[in-house]
Amino acid sequence: MSRRQVANESSSPPVVALRHISRIFGGSAAVSDLSLELRRGEFFSLLGPSGCGKTTTLRMIAGFERPDAGEIMIMGRDVKMAPPNRRPVNTVFQNYALFSHLNVGENVEFGLREKGVARAERATAVREALALVRLAGHEARRIQGLSGGEQQRVALARAIVNQPNVLLLDEPLGALDLKLRRAMQEELKMLQRRLGITFLYVTHDQEEALLMSDRVGVMSKGRLEQVGSPEELYARPASAFVADFVGEANILAAQVEEGPRSGRVTLRLANGQTVTAATSGETGASAGALVLRPEKIELERGPIAVGGCRLSGIVENAFFIGAFRRFVVHLGQDVRITALTTDASSPIAPGAAVSLVFDPDQAWFLPGEIPPKSAEGRASPNTAQPQTTTGHNHENPRPDALARQL
Amino acid sequence: MRRPWPLYVYAVLLYGFIFAPILFLIVNSVNADRYGETWKGFTTQWYVEAWSSPGVIEATRNSLLVAAASTAASLLLGTLAVLGRRLRPVALVIDGSTLARILIPEVVLALSVLVFLTSIGFARGFTTIVIGHTLFSTAYVSIIVAARMARMTPATWEAARDLGATAWRAFWRVRLWEIMPAIVASGLLVFIFSLDNVVTSYFLSGSTVTLPLYMYGLIRFEISPMVNALGTSIMLVTSVLMALAALANWRWAVGRQTVRQLRTA
C-alpha cells in the first residue's frame, strides 16, 4: 500500500487530534479555538508568519505548553496533562538543541537509554538511524566538530531513532543557508516517505511548505485559516490572507455585478472594467477580493478588451528575470496587475497598450474578503520575506520608478 | 600603533608596585640572611625548616581539610540555591542573601557567626571554621553558577524531556554537565579563598590552627624567615589552582564559541 493511500484513508483514526485548543499568553491568545486532525503517515505543515501561533501549537503537542482550553489526543489518548517524556512524539528543535557534552552516538542513543533499551539493541538502532540520515559511522564524532547540516541530521536521527508516532519539526532548516536548505528539504521528504512516520512541520516559508507537504494548515493570529493540499491552497485559497501568503498573487477589490451562478461570478473592478471569475461562495456578498496568480495571465499586444476574461491596460514596468518576464500593468484608477510570462521572444516595452488574458477558472473570487493593503495592485514577492506582505506601511514605489524612466 | 612613552613608565611603576613585595618575599625565601637585609647566598634552609615543623604540618592538614569540607558544602548549597532560584518568589530572597554575604564586611559576618554558634552551644573548632567559610563561599559559587545558567536556553533541557527523560534524569544527564565548568571553576576559587582566609578563621578557630593563622603567629613577635618559605609555597599552590580554574572556564567557552561559529557558517 502506498503512503498516499494510507494518508487518504479516512477510516483510520487520526494520529493527533486537537479539539478547540486555546493558549493565552499575558491576556492575548497565541492560539485560539484551533481544531486539527493529523492522519497517519502524512506530511503536514503548519504555515504562517512569525507570531501566528504555529510554534505554540507544536509545543502544546510536544507537551512544553499546556492548552488553556480544549483537548489534545495522540493515538486516541488524551495527553493534555501528560509531561513531554510521556508522549509518543519526538521533536527536532529549531537550533537542534544537541547535547554538546555527548558525542554523536550518545546524542542519538539518549532517548533509547531513557526507555531502558538494552545496550546491544541501542547500538544497532543508533547505527541504523545514523545511516538513514547519511551519517553512518559518525558515532564517535564530537558535536562541536560538525557542520550546521550535519548537526541538523544528528538532531533528526536522535528523534527518529525512538520511532515516534509523530515527528514534530520546528523550523528545522531555518539556520541553514539556502543551498543546504534545498537539499535538506528533499532529503526530509524522502526520509518521511521511507519511514511512514507522521510529520508535523512548522515553517514560515510557504515554498518549503508547498513542496514537502501532503497537507498544509495556514495560520494567522492564532487561528487556522485553511487546511488543504498545496494545490487547493494555491488555486482555491479560503481567504485573502491565504492567497497573499501562499505563492504570489494579485489581490484586487471587486464588486459583484452578476451571480454567483453555477460557480461563476461577474465582477467589476475599481477602475470599471468587468471580469468573470470562479467562486465557491453562494453568499449574497456584494463585494470581495479577486485573486489572480501572475503566471496564469497571458499578455497580448493591443488595447482590445472584449470583456469576460480580458482586461486592458498600459505596461508600466517590465523586468527580465531569466526564465520569466515580469510585467506590471496599470489598468487605470491605480489598479495594477502583475503578470509573469515565459514568452521571451519580443519583449513588450513599458508604455505599450496590452490586454490581459486568462481562464476564468484560474481567477478566484473571495466574497466578503478585503485585499490586504500591501497586496493591492501588486503581486507579493512572497518567497523572500513573507512577513512584509502582511505589513500595512508600504508605500508604492512604482510611480517614482516610472517617472525616472520617462 | 605606537603608544606614548609615559604609558610604559606608568605600566612599569604600577606592576612594580603590585609585584615588588611578592618578588621580595620569594627572593627572601631562599636568602641565607635571616633578616632579609642583604643577599647572603642561596639556601633551601627555610623551606626545610618550615616543612619539617610539626606545627606547620598540622596547620596545613587543618587548612586543607577545612578548604575541602567548605568547598564541598558550598558547591552543593550554592548550586542548589541557584536551581531553587527558578521559583519566582524565592529568587529575590536568594539573590539578596547572596549579595549580602559578599557585601557585609567579613569581620561582621564572622563575628555574628561566632556569637550565634556559641549561643546555641557550639564549641569553636574545626566545624565552626567550616561553617564560617561555607557561608561566604556559597555566595561566590551561586554567583558564578548563576552567571552560567543565565546564558543557557531551555532548549537542551526540553530536548532531554522530549526524548523521554524525567525532570530528575534531565538534570543529571544534561543540565549538570552544562553547568559543570562553572562548578569546577567556582570550586577551585572558593578552595583558594578558604585556604588563605584569616579573618573568619581567626574568629572561629578555637584551638584549631589553620596555616594562615599559624603564619600570623610566626610574625607576631619577630618575623621568622619560615614565613617567606610558607608564603611562597602557598602562592605556588594557589597559582596552579587559579590557572586550572581559568582553563576550565576558558576551554568550555572556546568550545561553545566554535559551535556557534559553525552554526552561523
Tell me what pLDDT residue A101 has: 87
Tell me what pLDDT residue A346 has: 65
What phi and psi, each to the nearest 5 degrees, are found at residue A21? -85, 145
Write out pLDDT tens, residues A44-67.
999 988 888 889 999 999 999 888
Determine the average pLDDT of the residues in B247-264. 58
Concatenate the DSSP letters of all residues of A252-317 into one string. Answer: EEEEEEEEEETTEEEEEETTS-EEEEEE---S--SEEEEEE-GGG-EEEES----STTEEEEEEEE
Q: How far apart are CA A388 and CA A382, in angstroms?
A: 8
> Are the beta carbons of B263 and A148 separated by less than 8 Å?
yes
Select from B98, B101, B99 the least CA-distant residue to B112: B101
pLDDT band at B181 (very low <50, low <70, confident <90, very high): confident
> Are the beta carbons of A114 and B161 separated by less than 8 Å?
no
Preferred mutation among A93, A103, A168, A176 to probe B, highest tally of B CBs within 10 A = A93
Select from B64, B50, B57, B59 the least CA-distant residue to B213: B59
Tell me what pLDDT residue A198 has: 93
Task: Look up residue A184 and give its three cell numbers.
Answer: 535538506
Q: Does B160 touch chain A (CB under 8 A)?
A: yes
Cross-chain CB nearest to A114 (options B156, B163, B177)? B163
- In the predicted model, is pLDDT for residue A283 greater than 80? no
**A179 Cα to chain B: minimum distance (Å):** 13
Determine the average pLDDT of the residues in A233-254. 87
Confirm if A99 and B159 have CB atoms less than 8 A apart.
Answer: yes
How many residues appear in chain A? 406
Tell me what pLDDT residue A178 has: 84
Worst-scoring range by mean pLDDT, A198-207, A352-361, B230-239? A352-361
Determine the average pLDDT of the residues in A217-233. 90
Tell me what pLDDT residue A317 has: 85
Tell me what pLDDT residue B87 has: 72
Tell me what pLDDT residue A139 has: 87
> Are the beta carbons of B263 and A175 separated by less than 8 Å?
yes
Please state, for a pLDDT cut of 70, what percent of chain A lies above it: 85
Element (H, E) at B112: helix B106-119
Judging contacts by C-beta atoms under 8 Å, the chain B residues touching residue A158 are 159, 163
Judging contacts by C-beta atoms under 8 Å, the chain B residues touching residue A91 are 158-159, 162
Write out pLDDT tens, residues A309-330.
677 788 888 888 877 888 888 8
**A383 Cα to chain B: minimum distance (Å):** 21
- In the predicted model, is pLDDT for residue A402 greater than 70? no
Please state, for a pLDDT cut of 90, what percent of chain A lies above it: 22
Q: How far apart are CA A325 and CA A349, in angstroms?
A: 11
Worst-scoring range by mean pLDDT, A22-36, A218-232, B249-263? B249-263
Name which residue leads in pLDDT, A334 or A230: A230
Tell me what pLDDT residue A294 has: 87
The HSE-up count of residue A204 (CA atoms within 13 Å, CB side) is: 17
- In the predicted model, is pLDDT for residue B188 greater than 60? yes
Work out the mean pLDDT of chain A and round it to a whole number. 81
Cross-chain CB nearest to A162 (options B158, B163, B258)? B163
Name which residue leads in pLDDT, B74 or A323: B74
Q: How far apart are CA A224 and CA A317, in angstroms?
A: 36
Tell me what pLDDT residue B133 has: 94
**Neighbouring residues of B183: CB distance < 8 A, sequence distance ≥ 6:** B75, B79, B141, B145
pLDDT band at A377 (very low <50, low <70, confident <90, very high): very low
**B63 Cα to chain A: minimum distance (Å):** 34
Judging contacts by C-beta atoms under 8 Å, the chain A residues touching residue B158 are 62, 64, 84, 91, 93, 97
Residues 171-200 of A with CB under 8 A from B: 175
Determine the average pLDDT of the residues in A55-83. 89
> Are the beta carbons of A110 and B160 separated by less than 8 Å?
yes
> Are the beta carbons of A148 and B265 separated by less than 8 Å?
yes
Worst-scoring range by mean pLDDT, A152-156, B134-138, B206-210? B206-210
Q: How far apart are CA A337 and CA A326, in angstroms?
A: 10
- In the predicted model, is pLDDT for residue B208 greater than 70? yes
**B161 Cα to chain A: minimum distance (Å):** 5
- For A158, the closest chain B residue by CA position comes to B163
Tell me what pLDDT residue A44 has: 94
Judging contacts by C-beta atoms under 8 Å, the chain B residues touching residue A99 are 156, 159-160, 173-174, 177
- In the predicted model, is pLDDT for residue B73 greater than 60? yes
For residue A260, whether the previous peptide bond is cis, meaning omega lies within 30 degrees of 0, is yes
Whole-model pTM?
Answer: 0.76
> Are the beta carbons of A148 and B262 separated by less than 8 Å?
yes
Task: Look up residue A11 and give its three cell numbers.
Answer: 477510516
Write out pLDDT tens, residues B76-123.
999 998 888 777 777 888 888 888 888 999 999 999 999 999 899 888
Tell me what pLDDT residue B40 has: 84
Which residue do the cell numbers 576559587 mark? Answer: B189
- In the predicted model, is pLDDT for residue B258 greater than 60? no
CB-count exposure of residue B135 (10 Å: 0-12, 13-18, 19+): buried
- For A160, the closest chain B residue by CA position comes to B163
Tell me what pLDDT residue A282 has: 66
- In the predicted model, is pLDDT for residue B37 greater than 70? yes
**A164 Cα to chain B: minimum distance (Å):** 10
SS3 annotation, A207-270: HHHHHHCCEEEEEECCEEEEEECHHHHHHCCCCHHHHHHCCCCEEEEEEEEEEEECCEEEEEEC
Cα distances (Å, whole numbers) of residue A61 to A76, A84, A91, A188, B163:
13, 9, 10, 21, 14
- Residue type for position A125: A
**B147 Cα to chain A: minimum distance (Å):** 19
Worst-scoring range by mean pLDDT, A117-126, A266-275, A290-299, B95-104? A266-275
Q: Does A99 touch chain B (CB under 8 A)?
A: yes
Write out pLDDT tens, residues A101-119.
889 999 999 999 998 898 8
Work out the mean pLDDT of chain B and round it to a whole number. 86
Q: Does A162 touch chain B (CB under 8 A)?
A: yes
- In the predicted model, is pLDDT for residue A124 greater than 70? yes
Q: Does A151 touch chain B (CB under 8 A)?
A: yes
Kind of pairing between the strands at A287-292 and A363-367:
antiparallel
Complex confidence, ipTM: 0.76
Worst-scoring range by mean pLDDT, A124-138, A184-198, A269-283, A356-370? A269-283
Burial A53-66 (b: 16+ CB within 10 A, else e): bbbbbbbbbbbbbe
**A213 Cα to chain B: minimum distance (Å):** 24
> Are the beta carbons of B165 and A147 separated by less than 8 Å?
no
Determine the average pLDDT of the residues in A362-390. 57
- For B179, the closest chain A residue by CA position comes to A101
